[in-house]
Amino acid sequence: MLKEVIVDQKGRADQVQFKVVLTTGAASEHWYYRRVRSYRDYGFSHRIYRRIRQLHAQGKLDEEIADGLNEGGLCGAKGCRFTGKTVCILRQHMGLPSVIPHGPFPRQWDDDSYSVYGAAKPRGVYPGTIQKRLKRGPVRGQDD
């Protein structure tokens, strides 16, 4: 019953096209979306980028954007679900800044206490270093 199967994988990097021809002359075409190495080669990247921009404009964090992409039925270039880390990388590639949920923190508050960023800058260390010292000591801090 099967006369031939024609496979074309050169048309698009993210897609393989199959044409199935039966002995009766009936034919059907099918597409398989395959994993690609880069979003440049991914046919759905324009939809992903547009959705990231929309959710970012709403002030969503990377994890929330990932949830929105997954709930919208989109999947990553390698066929996997989106994570906050994946969205962070894509957002940086797109030139979108990270969302700070409570706005930028001041260097120093009115009570003479410092934000993590305010304490790190004059000492020439990364804010993560201050955060580690807050967890382990000897630096003391408080959560707001």
Nearest Cα neighbor of 49 from 80, 16, 78, 82 is 82
Confidence band of 141 (pLDDT split at 50, 70, 90): low
pLDDT of the residue at 55 = 93
Give residue-wise pLDDT tens across range 39-70: 555 555 778 888 989 999 998 888 899 999 98
Predicted model pTM: 0.49
Mean pLDDT over 95-115 rounds to 75
How far from each other are the two terminal CA atoms of the chain, in whole angstroms?
72
Mean pLDDT, the chain, as a whole number? 78
pLDDT of the residue at 35 = 59
pLDDT of the residue at 54 = 94
* H helix or E strand, kind and range, residue 47: helix 45-57
Confidence band of 105 (pLDDT split at 50, 70, 90): low
Nearest Cα neighbor of 33 from 22, 51, 50, 18 is 18
Six token digits for residue 90: 């894509």
pLDDT of the residue at 118 = 80
pLDDT of the residue at 66 = 92
Does residue 19 register a pLDDT over 60?
yes
